[in-house]
Structure 1
Amino acid sequence: MAGSEPNEYASLDEFLQANGAKRKIKRVLIANNGNAAIKFAMSVRQWCLETFNNAHEIELVGLVTPEDENSNAEYISYCDFIERVPGGSNNYNYASIDVIVECANQFHCDAVWPGWGHASENEELPRMLSAESNAIWIGPTSETMVAVGCKIASTIVAQSLDIPVVPWSGSAVKVSCAEDKLAQVTAEHIRRACIRDVEHLYQLIDEDVVTFPFMLKAAAGGGGKGIRIVEDREKAANCYHMVSGEVQGSLIFAMNCVTNCRHLEVQILGDEYGLVVPCGARDCTIQRRHQKIIEEGPPVCADSELIEQLMESAAKLCRAVNYYSAGTVEFLFDIEKHEYYFLEVNARLQVEHVVTELMMDANLPVAQLQIAMGLPLHKIEGVKQYMERRSAKVAAEKHVIASRIVAENSENNFQPTTGAIQELNFGGSSHVWGYFSVTQGGKVHQYCDSQIGHIFAVGKTRTEARKHLLNSLRTLIIRGEIWAGPRQTDRALHVRPRVSGEN
């Protein structure tokens, strides 16, 4: 996405010298595919063209499976070099630490960009790069990833900083959060926050530490396994045994359920000099099967004062764990009580980051790249101007709404679909921008993400942005063996805003 008007430089070396960069990153390995890979490549190419008048001033190396190559994946054409890697599920390719490190070394890459999904939140990857490669990791440190990657640990840090959290089994556990020192959550802290056995669970219920309905969750669970909602005392023991049986050996914690809430999140940028900046908030409440489908910003469900508190809480948490690069702090917002609660931290760039890019007029993948080069935030175009506006309390007079385009069949319980794309016709405008991981003549294969595109609309108001997005979706043509009809999005976007007076 376009940022502020950049200066032009004759070369990357000149840019680095002029901005006091510590490290030169000339060649980047994109350790991803699909939407993540194409978005990073487009962002870097645009910045290079604007800054150096040479779209290839930064060289891009791509990993390519046989399935992606045969599917005509869009990102491949943006790469200067490609490395063919084994096909099949991602543990053989994009999520394989060994494959990524080997490729980084083979192509003498200066850095690795992880994107989202696959290996992006595996703290072992930056550790191995540090130990076995000269390539640096474009993302937070492995120590920070450990501190926030575990929901139990990150919740302990949040409540230790007096950030509101939902009542849970570990509500009494706190750690020291001294300034300029990484908050340390030990295995003992985590053990104390979890449930020892059924008797301990009943004790928590009797002492009103958790109240019905509450969630029992296995810390090592995922994909719908190891999670149960406990609605009354009679079901507590059975739910505990089901959770412990599904994810054997895992720690289990309990947390109150919050109903009638919105899912809000704050975009964070941090540099290596200790500065952490909250870059606005997004509302990602509209989801299907716990997957976001519509995102927008700024949120209209809460007033600006609460959103500011939300952003400051996110920045406070990230400072406590020495957060570096881009990340997202997620919250639940209880509409009736007008209160927010910490949910989790995603130690990576998120799919919906473009919502924030359009609100703040910046290029976030390139901001990640420049942070990794050692630039402070106030030297990064787009981010610098945003910080100046934020300091002056100048609000952005715009609203952004996004819709994910997914290859799922709405008439068959939204099951993922695969197959060839014979026609894909998307018409952008001054109000609408979008990108696709596959286009006309391409194919959606069985191992790729069902999301094949993302469309973003901007307006002066929410109503205007919604109108632009709906018009774009109605004219979007996708014809072929897949099913990606946007009719459900059209219906969801007619949800009324929750703040009176919003136009």
Structure 2
Amino acid sequence: MFAKLLIANRGEIAVRIIHACHAMGIAAVVVYSEADRRALHVRMADEALPIGPAPAPESYLRIEAIIEAALRAGAQAIHPGYGFLSERAAFSRACRDAGLAFVGPPPEAIEALGDKIAARRLALATGVPVAPGYHGADQSDETLLREATRIGYPLLIKASAGGGGRGMRIVTNADELMPALESARREARAAFGDDTVFLEKLIARPRHIEVQFLADAYGNAVHLFERECSIQRRYQKIVEESPSPALTPKQREMIGEAAVRLARAAGYVNAGTAEFLYDETDGSFAFLEVNARLQVEHPVTEAVTGVDLVQLQIAIAGGARLPFRQEDVQQRGHAIEVRLCAEDPVTFLPAGGRLTRFDLPDDIRCDSGFETGDEVTLYYDSLLAKLIVHADDRSVAIAKLRTALDACTVEGVTTNLPLLRAIAAHPAFAAGETTTDFLTTHQVAARLPAPAPLPDEVVLAAAIADVLALPFGRAAARDPWSALGPWRLLRADMPLRYRDGERERCVRVTECASEWRVEIDGTTCTVGVLATHPDHLIVRTTDGRIERFGIARDGAGLRVEWQGKRFYLSHATLDVEHLGVRGHSHSRAGLEAPMPGTIVRILVNEGDRVAAHQPLVVLEAMKMEHIVAAPHDGIILRLPYAVGALVAKGATLVEMEEG
């Protein structure tokens, strides 16, 4: 067995592999980017080596840097985790060439199955049914348009090297094909370095069923039953369970055998997952793809089989045989996993920030790469933690899940916790009605509780900071006027407006001798500013209380920390009359960054005349793209940022004049 293993990943999966290594008596080495130098996986590892700047292409996707780090550390093996380089045949081959064991399949198997187009061809050759589609080598726009017409709409564009929903688009008609194709290729190229795509007929309201399999280097292969992963957003799973509430024992046996047949045909070694769509209307299966790596949801299988998949991965990579036969593997009870992510629970837009409080239940399994005080960066995936429950039957497992979610407390970063709670409480989930359109069919977002309004104290602090034009936080190190943008023009008697969810808060601040008169939505109070610092503001309220507010500028808004909680306030549209600006008001609706991220494409130029709904800027964060479109016809006045710029939430991406 290996004495030292390098983990070519980060976050939750790196922590999971560290635990497995230590349980096996193996020293764990990790690599880290500049953004992760204080991350949990770095703190937990026996050794940590830097590999480059924050962007993944300059760090976690650099094969030569990772191989060099492994050799320098004296590691004998590399575990790729999931994502990043885990399904790159070139990485598996580079490890082999360097004399390092790759904890995953050989490059030949990755090429046969990890590429989704090659996997579809192999499935057809081995008698595994696939959905109608096109997976040819000709990637020209003309060919794809012709094949899309042959397949019929609606259909899916999928990245051949993709995973996690990246590079995937639904197309409902021919007019949507070219824009969707361009977007899918761009996202796939950025995420995987390969923009090859294929087309697939869209199956209405299917279930997403996948089968975990293991194979050793001696020809032995088994499946470890199925997981149902139908509840998804943006084609990414958020709830997984085993066994599927929909399958019969006969169907379970049939789909498991199909997965093993594929693995054997590809000469597969190590852990992999075969994914299928199940149509309940006729009981048919259609092969989707093989994930030639460990899956995010592997704890579900571990819970119902009692098998440690990561330890088995490492053992197989070290030359061990499978320690059991197919008849030795059994499903016991029911397991459910949910993914706690840093994202808006309604829009699914990613979120970042510092976790001021991160409390997970201690009576169930929780896999996480974060602790209280850690920074959630927008360079990588939004996953914060996985909560896994296991019980004798599904109803008890759901009850445990609800209790576990209620015990979670996350502050400082927006998460999908309200959505997970709503799913767990939904009667359709309890009934096992879990098709891939679950969230939209059952309008789960409509069941989410309305967020609490911002406290008046927080709005007050933000208004005083704006009126004083204080260069808080990072802006203190720069020119405060350029940092504040148009807010440097504020006068103490002008109204300020802040967005509070769907509401707008109106504030008027007036200086009165040594105090400030603050009117918030018609209610007036008097405060005294006792002190201002680079990162906080101290005020005395009317009743004599002294309050401290941490404040940092964040694009076009402010982050305010008060009484242990973090709040974000974005500015509503300026009242141009108070700024002495003549002419028309420039509507900015929809032209601000809905999330922090990187500008990956600008589709217009200053001076261009654009139509309503025309795409203007493409923003990327946590591996997902968001298109900022024109809210109305108009003329582009200014494009403040260039391609590659990292922008904050609320930053103005486009200034345009209506008409």
Q: TM-score range by the shorter chain?
A: 0.7 to 0.9
Tell me if the contact between 1:217 and 1:243 (Cα under 8 Å) persists in the aligned partners: no
Residues 1:497 and 2:431 are matched in the alignment:
yes
Residues 1:168 and 2:145 are matched in the alignment:
no
Of 103, 118, 135, which aligns to 1:138? 103
Of 382, 385, 389, which aligns to 2:328? 389
Within 5 Å, give how 1:62-461 maps onto structure 2.
Answer: 62-70=30-38, 73-131=39-97, 133-169=98-134, 190-191=136-137, 197=143, 200-201=146-147, 205=150, 210-216=151-157, 219=160, 227-231=169-173, 235=174, 238-239=175-176, 241-242=178-179, 247=185, 253-378=198-323, 384=324, 387-390=326-329, 395-410=330-345, 413-429=347-363, 432-461=364-393
Residues 307, 489 of structure 1: CA spacing in aligned structure 2 closer, same or farther, 3 A cutoff? same
Residues 201, 490 of structure 1: CA spacing in aligned structure 2 closer, same or farther, 3 A cutoff? same
Residues 497, 304 of structure 1: CA spacing in aligned structure 2 closer, same or farther, 3 A cutoff? farther
Question: Letter of the aligned partner of 1:121 in structure 2?
Answer: E
* Bigger fraction of residues in strand: 2
Tell me if the contact between 2:86 and 2:293 (Cα under 8 Å) persists in the aligned partners: yes
Unaligned segments of structure 1, at least 5 residues: 1-23, 49-56, 171-189, 379-383
Tell me if the contact between 1:422 and 1:441 (Cα under 8 Å) persists in the aligned partners: yes
Deviation at 1:477, TM superposition (A): 1.4
Deviations 1:233-257 (A, max 9, x none): xx3xx45554665649976644221
Deviation at 1:168, TM superposition (A): 2.2
Deviation at 1:260, TM superposition (A): 1.3
Deviation at 1:449, TM superposition (A): 2.1
Tell me if the contact between 2:171 and 2:180 (Cα under 8 Å) persists in the aligned partners: no
Residues 193, 67 of structure 1: CA spacing in aligned structure 2 closer, same or farther, 3 A cutoff? closer
SS at match of 2:54: coil
Residues 37, 219 of structure 1: CA spacing in aligned structure 2 closer, same or farther, 3 A cutoff? closer
SS at match of 2:355: strand
What is aligned with 1:470? 402
Return the alpha-carbon distance in structure 1 between the equivalents of residues 322 and 145 of structure 2: 51
TM-score (norm 1): 0.78
Matched positions, count: 421
Residues 240, 486 of structure 1: CA spacing in aligned structure 2 closer, same or farther, 3 A cutoff? closer
Question: Letter of the aligned partner of 1:329 in structure 2?
Answer: A
140-149 or 246-255, larger mean C-alpha shift: 246-255
SS at match of 2:254: helix
Deviation at 1:414, TM superposition (A): 2.3
Return the alpha-carbon distance in structure 2 between the equivalents of residues 387 and 199 of structure 1: 45
Question: Letter of the aligned partner of 1:104 in structure 2?
Answer: A
Return the alpha-carbon distance in structure 1 between the equivalents of residues 144 and 244 of structure 2: 40
Residues 1:42 and 2:47 are matched in the alignment:
no
Unaligned segments of structure 2, at least 5 residues: 187-193, 434-659
Residues 191, 484 of structure 1: CA spacing in aligned structure 2 closer, same or farther, 3 A cutoff? closer
* Bigger fraction of residues in helix: 1
Return the alpha-carbon distance in structure 1 between the equivalents of residues 217 and 62 of structure 2: 27
Return the alpha-carbon distance in structure 1 between the equivalents of residues 258 and 419 of structure 2: 34
Question: Letter of the aligned partner of 1:497 in structure 2?
Answer: A
Question: Letter of the aligned partner of 1:289 in structure 2?
Answer: R
Return the alpha-carbon distance in structure 2 between the equivalents of residues 328 and 410 of structure 1: 28
Question: Letter of the aligned partner of 1:417 in structure 2?
Answer: A
SS at match of 2:430: coil
Deviation at 1:214, TM superposition (A): 3.2
Question: Letter of the aligned partner of 1:66 in structure 2?
Answer: E
Tell me if the contact between 1:314 and 1:329 (Cα under 8 Å) persists in the aligned partners: yes
What is aligned with 2:462? none
- Superposed CA RMSD: 2.6
If asked which structure has higher relative contact order (CA below 8 Å, sep 6+), I would say 1
Return the alpha-carbon distance in structure 1 between the equivalents of residues 326 and 81 of structure 2: 24
Deviations 1:386-432 (A, max 9, x none): 74534xxxx53400011111111225x22222121222222222xx2
Question: Letter of the aligned partner of 2:31 in structure 1?
Answer: L
Residues 397, 94 of structure 1: CA spacing in aligned structure 2 closer, same or farther, 3 A cutoff? same
Question: Letter of the aligned partner of 1:434 in structure 2?
Answer: C
Return the alpha-carbon distance in structure 1 between the equivalents of residues 258 and 299 of structure 2: 22
What is aligned with 1:174? none
Deviations 1:334-390 (A, max 9, x none): 011111110001000011100001111011111001001111102xxxxx3x74534
Return the alpha-carbon distance in structure 2 between the equivalents of residues 40 and 201 of structure 1: 43
What is aligned with 2:655? none
Deviation at 1:227, TM superposition (A): 4.3
Question: Letter of the aligned partner of 2:11 in structure 1?
Answer: G
Tell me if the contact between 2:277 and 2:286 (Cα under 8 Å) persists in the aligned partners: yes
